[in-house]
Structure 1
Amino acid sequence: MKKKAGILLSLTLAASTILGACGNTDKSSEKKEGKESKNFKVGMVTDVGGVDDKSFNQSAWEGLKKFGKDNKLKENEGYRYLESTKDADYIPNLAKFVDTNYNLTFGIGYKMQESIKETAGKNPKKQFAIVDAVVDKPNVTSITFKDHEGSFLAGAVAAMTTKSNKVGFIGGIKSPLIQKFESGFMAGAKTVNPNIEVISQYAEAFDKPEKGSVLASAMYGQGIDVIYHASGATGNGVFTEAKNRKKKGENVWVIGVDRDQNQEGMPENVTLTSMVKRVDVAVEKVSQKAKDGKLEGGKKEEFGLQDDGVGIAKTTDNVKKVNPEIVTKVEEFKKKIVSGEIKVPSTPDEYKTYEASLKK
């Protein structure tokens, strides 16, 4: 009997040990998972426009903040940004995130293309993402948008609004990216009215509001009454000039870019509409993929009208005041673009071909 009792006691102790070990393993696994989740870090480097550019840097930061809050990460610990005041800041800022073991680092704006390429090449085990450019590296996710499609709608709105039959485009730095905005805008305007006059100017900067004011002043001075800007913080000057003229009784408009810029036109209410580019959504989605371990570097993520990556802002009060039918017409154009019936030009050469086809 003693021998049987001893065996039973041994089995009981063994079972307790096994169960205890299982329990410890579960707790250890949960603790490890929680630690990994807590330690996930994502950083963002702005271009020279700064995080408060009222445009794509700000939109990117809004997306990153939403991701952080949704995942219960602390700002400046789990997610943060570094501002660049000059091009020379790009690589040092990217390096700061690499050196502090961030899991994913965003470079916002095509001007950071070479800096991301160089930094990613030197740090193959780190993940990077860039907005508005393509970097062919296995650890870089390239986020691009069909800016020309959204800009087409902006051009159509401008053409259906103008009283002078003259509209303007102000770009930041003349580059293939900003020429996508210009080409789409001109195509939309000319589709509505082949005889409309479209004047384009470039500020050659994304961080010079004073230059935006000067260019806008010249355009409004020559009779243009609607200006579409794709110039980052430089566009703040366009709004300033429009508001000053509105105070004097002039009926002029600005079409914003990247995010709904309705508030930038207040209190004089000069924002006709905005070409919204969902940089916030793109940044949020890519960040979540990285956190979930599903981000595959070396791929291109493109957002267009079809997936609401670009489009006209939901704030349509001023457009409806001009003519309620404009909103309906914009939806018709959108459907034609998504279906392929309208192929929006994205380069100056494609635009020339498109414009020629309108005259046939």
Structure 2
Amino acid sequence: MFSLSRLGFKSSLFFLIFISVVWGSVSLTQAGQFKVALLTPGAISDAGWNALAYDGLKAIEKELAAKVSHVESKTPAQWEEHFRFFASNGYDLIFGHGFEYQDAAKTVGREFSDTTFITTSGNTVEKNVASVVFELEEATYLLGIIAASMSKTGKIGAIGGMNIPPINSTFHAFIQGAKSVNSKIQISKSYVGNWEDVGKAKELALSQIAEGVDLIFHNADAAGVGVFEAVSNSRKEGKSVFAFGSNRNQNEVAPDAVLASAVIDTSAFVRIAKIVKEGKFEAKVMMTGMAQNEAIKLVYNPNLKSYVPKSVQENVEKVRQQIIAGSFKAPRPQFLEN
């Protein structure tokens, strides 16, 4: 797999220009091979948001025999540069993994009409630009039910990376799920201010625990490891506290601390790529949840599942089935509307 993250963007760009000048038009792939690129806002070693997208990219490579590439793309200038780089090199589909990539996708998309641009979150739609919205709220609502049902203090917490609509939407569902069990439940919310500061996330989690919070949901990407460290250390001190993972199955990241995870399944990326490959792409906001082949899942940590009372598990499963059947809609703010 070609990776600008490994080679360095400038050096790899020089390499491609060099090949073009010396040998003329040279394809990096077999003629007609489906080419897919991924831009992530952070490192794919985060075991969360970015890692799950990379897992999806690798699944596309395997299941659709695609040529795939990845680059870590953090700044507005890089977003357009990287979109333009891949589009100019014949990539058929480019994922911008996050709410922040919308404007860049729209701008570059107008320059390359034969390339499909997909942002994960948002509502940007043009002829060759669309968004996929992972309805993680369906799983975080269930986490809220678990949290309120198990809390011994009546206090639960949520820690986010940035204070932005997609994060707050998952918090809203988590809180509403909790309130469906205990209307008087107290919720503490904190934000790291970025996606990487593990130390700050740990500090925020320890502060919440000191205030009596005993179950914490994080949606903070790589910084979330700090939440797990705080919970793990507190459990070693004899405190009955647990954490919840997000986006990817994070149960193995901290098996002694993570009770369950709200997970986006990699099949969602493959399904979208297949639509593009088969020429069936439609420019629209694609809502993806539990009803779409369980693209969204609640995954218990097998090491800690026994802590969740059977009655709670049964209630969670009842609501999960209602979500899949369409008889219940997990609440989410309408931040996608123009």
| Alignment of 1:228 onto 2:217 | yes
In structure 1, the partner of 2:152 is 163
Gaps of 5+ in 2: 1-28
Match of 1:237 among 223, 226, 240: 226
Which digits, 9 at most, give the CA deviation of each residue in 1:288-339, with x for residues without a partner?
Answer: 222233323x122211232223231154542333312222110112233445
Quote the residue 1:70 is aligned against: 63
Which of 40, 50, 54 is the aligned partner of 2:34?
Answer: 40
Aligned match of 1:250? 239
Within 2, Cα distance between the matches of 1:316 and 1:331?
16
Query: Aligned pair in 2 of structure 1 residues 210, 89: CA closer, same or farther (>3 Å)?
Result: farther
Deviation at 1:226?
0.5
Alignment-derived partner of residue 290 in structure 2:
305
**Larger gyration radius, structure 1 or structure 2:** 1
Query: Secondary structure of 1:192's partner?
Result: coil
**Partner amino acid for 1:55?**
G
For residues 103 and 174 of structure 2, the distance between their equivalents in structure 1, rounded to whole angstroms, comes to: 28
Q: Report what 2:49 is aligned to.
A: 56
Letter in 2 for 1:344: A
Within a 5 Å distance, the mapping from 1:92-103 to structure 2 comes to 92-103=81-92
Q: Post-superposition shift, 1:155? A: 0.3
Tell me how far apart the structure 1 counterparts of residues 58 and 300 of structure 2 sit (CA, whole Å). 22
Identical aligned pairs, as a percentage? 28
Q: Deviations over 1:56-111 (max 9, x none)?
A: 221111111112122344xxxx1010012444421222122112111111100111
One-letter amino acid of the counterpart of residue 131, structure 2 = S
Does the CA contact (< 8 Å) of 1:130 and 1:141 recur in 2?
Answer: yes
8 A contact 1:319–1:327 mirrored in 2:
no
Contact 1:183 1:348 in 2 (8 A): no
The structural deviation recorded for 1:149 is 2.0
TM-score normalized by structure 1? 0.79
How many correspondences in the alignment?
Answer: 306
Cα offset for 1:211? Answer: 2.0
Structure 2 residue aligned with 1:276: 263
User: Counterpart of 1:333?
Assistant: 319
State the match for 1:190 in structure 2: 179
Separation in 2 of the partners of 1:161 and 1:36? 56
- 2:43 and 2:50 in contact (8 A); partners too: yes
Counterpart-to-counterpart distance in 2, 1:338 and 1:79:
32
Question: Which residue type is aligned with residue 64 of structure 2?
Answer: N
Distance (Å, rounded) in 1 between the aligned partners of 2:251 and 2:309: 18
RMSD of Structure 2 on Structure 1 (CA) = 2.1
1:228–1:255 contact (8 Å) kept in structure 2:
yes
